[in-house]
Structure 1
């Protein structure tokens, strides 16, 4: 793969170092979407920089585009991690849900890739905000690592299939087919959103009020008939091991959950992965983060992350 050089000269070494360090936010934004875990994304980017600094200065100078090199290495590190993650998640206790992100995570938006438009590519794109929603990340989990990489690099960050081929070691045609298969899976799993963001926030607020009031009927009225509730305790804390299906079962489970909780429990409205969500605190400590998927003016899916290892970004 060719990396195009944009700077030269010994006096530009400092600027070059700044540019290298400046890529970190974009790399984490990419790695988080690929891995679904902020902790693993940080590890992948750290490994990428470790490989960069392990090279001699002449080797670094020979690389014509530092950003392209870092992206290639980070993506390949993520591919390796995705392979091992599948093995680990087969042994995971209960359901595995991607790690939720708080509103203040400013790198969520990342930076658009440097790719030029490819006339052979489809016109539709996944926006950066959409690509960090919990619903989208959950669909990514159902894909093969290769499909996931092709879709994220192309549809989210705008890289042409020629560059993706160089990163993944596949042909452009193969990468195009991988992204197409991944896109079909997304469309089948995620119907287009119809409710404006403000309306989605109102639904979540109404859900919170009904939950606070222990009003089963009100909760059921906000849930779709075929709604699902999925919890992730990771075997560390108590959580439903299997998804709960149906609005009545979900409503009764949630009211029973808070009914059994000791004092000091607070349900707070927060932005979770760019969408309206809820944070559960017990005596000021975050013990759960709830993400929602809205469809046809009803709450269709709820993801409740309780594994404390995934709640580190939410600590005050």
Structure 2
């Protein structure tokens, strides 16, 4: 499928990220790029080729590396999916804005070998596109909706460290059963912030009456007018492959008073089997890189 020759290895070593130094990117391989290297690939019976920690980086020689190639058959012909690489009508503009599709990585330029984009965080044990629609980066948006946990009398609840307890809205994914941020993929031509708001409405307002939904949409539109970018970059997602991967922009929308979205009665949308307010605690475990992203919100809101 593709091989990495000596010149390609040298080029990989000199590529710099626009958002992090090369040394930080190298360190992040061990701390971020782990969930997409183990077990069977989703929606398949293919087991990933073993990738030890010291063989993740493309610049490290790994002669035995022979990952299985997989692209989910159901992707073919879908409007959100790229054609196969090698299709004479498919001429993607890598590392660029390609029509209404962004093929730019938040982590800086990624390498192309034999026409295939390479995962900037390294080997994953499987090549091809997997279940992802795009070759290269697949952009998502993750809204972290937060509030302070409150007692029945309205006072803030505090934890064992005598600090207030921060909560966020989490959904339980139907595919893995893990709790996660209620995010989603960015549609072509859609702003990332619009995706974040759309995904939240689909999940949280799913079963409201039409009248209530219209009222809440007005409240939520005002609430979402202000948000802070918490994270922008690669996501350690089990769907990632050597040639397709997920990146996100995570926004925090905080309800300080608890009187806006903090009062919402939550109902799961089509892609989730549950939704609730979840305490952000040291032992919290979430889907993909969501634990690290949510912990960034906690650090922002609770000052030492």
TM-score w.r.t. structure 1 length?
0.27
What is the TM-score when the length of structure 2 is the normalising length? 0.28
Structure ranking higher in strand proportion: 2
Name the one with the larger helix percent: 1
Higher relative contact order (CA 8 A, sep 6+): 2
